[in-house]
Amino acid sequence: MATDGGSDRRTDLLAAAAALFRARGYQGTSMDDIAKAVGLNKGTLYHYIPSKAGILFEIYRTAQETALARIRSIPLDMPVEEAVAEIIRMHLRSIDERPAETAVYFQEMRWIEEWLTAEQIAILRTNERAYLERATEFVQRGIDTGRFAPTDAATVGAGFVGLAAWTYQWFDPTGPHTVDDVAEVFIPMVLHGLAGERLSEPVA
């Protein structure tokens, strides 16, 4: 993507496209629609990015790189319970910060291999694996140190990441609860499960 228009223009393009893809679907959105949403003609839009598929790839890549940077900022020697809690909080806050991008990420996932190049897919799969491997590291360390019950760390890592990620389907930012409220319900549930314990009392 060209950057001579500045990072603000790139951000505007991706945000506008994500909002349209969320509302109309990727296939139901044209480059004309995106250009109109950001106040450009289609020719100028192509100056910034060569194709609609390129915009979709940028939405995915940006979301993944942001998530990777956040999970890599968690020290590997952080107490495992704190690390798992922080991963859940980060996921939920990302949904709150970028609701359209998050919806598009999961909404269009089943078709991206039809729309993106093999090289682009390889980049996204590599990022996805790197994220899940990092989450798994914390679970495995918890198992190895006796903090968590013996289990398959990769399955559990993918499971609690998916639990948090899927919140975009039902979370209402205008409702009575914040994403931090949701986190405080999810975190003890996940940690008690990892420890092999039953919840001793309902979590409000």
Q: Which residues of the chain have pLDDT under 70?
A: 1-7, 197-204
For 12, other C-beta atoms within 10 Å of its C-beta total 17
**Inside any domain, residue 56:** no
Overall pTM > 0.95: no
If residue 53 lies in a helix (H) or strand (E), which one and from where to where?
helix 52-72
Task: Check whether residue 131 and residue 72 sit in a common domain.
Answer: yes
143 and 43 in one domain? Answer: no
Percentage of the chain surpassing pLDDT 90?
74
Residues 42 and 91 both lie in one domain: no
Q: Does residue 202 sit within a domain?
A: no
Instruction: Judge if 42 and 70 occupy the same domain.
Output: no
Give the domain extent around 39. Answer: 1-50
**106/187 same-domain check:** yes
pLDDT single digits (tens) 28-72: 999 999 999 988 887 788 878 889 999 999 999 999 999 999 999
200 in any annotated domain? no
Dihedrals phi, psi of 194, to nearest 5 degrees: -65, -35
